[in-house]
Amino acid sequence: MEKNKLIKITENFKGKKIGVIGDLMLDHFMWGDADRISPEAPIPVVVVARESFVPGGAGNTAANIAALGGKAFIVGLVGKDLAGKILLSEFKKRGIEIGGVTVHSKKPTIQKIRVVARSQQVVRVDKEDVQYVDDNVERKLLEFIVLHIKEWDGIVVSDYAKGLITKNLAENIVNLAVKYKKPIIGDVKPKHAPFFKNITLLSPNQKESLEISGVSDFEVAGKIIQKQLNCSVLLTRGAKGATLFENNNVKHFPAVAREVFDVSGAGDTVVAVATLALAAGANLEQATIIANHAAGIVVGKLGTATVGPEELKQYLES
H or E element: which one contains 111?
Answer: strand 110-117
Phi, psi of 234 (to 5 degrees): -110, 105
Residues 6+ apart with CB under 8 A from 248: none
The DSSP annotation for 241-262 comes to -EEEEETTEEEEE----S--S-
Q: How far apart are CA 91 and CA 99, in angstroms?
A: 11
* 3-state DSSP of 188-219: CCHHHHHHHCCCCEECCEHHHHHHHHCCCCHH
Query: Which active-site residues does the annotation give?
Result: 268
Burial category of 82 from C-beta neighbours within 10 Å (exposed 0-12, middle 13-18, buried 19 and up): exposed
In order of 74, 77, 137, 202, 287, the CA distances from 163 in angstroms are: 16, 10, 11, 19, 29
Q: Which residues pair with 126 in a beta bridge?
A: 112
Asked if 269 and 65 count as a contact pair (C-beta separation under 8 A), the reply is: no
Q: Is 118 helix (H, G, I), strand (E, B) or coil?
A: coil
**Residues contacting residue 143 through CB under 8 Å, at least 6 positions apart:** none
**Burial classification of residue 116, based on how many CB atoms lie within 10 Å of its CB (0-12 exposed, 13-18 middle, 19 or more buried):** buried
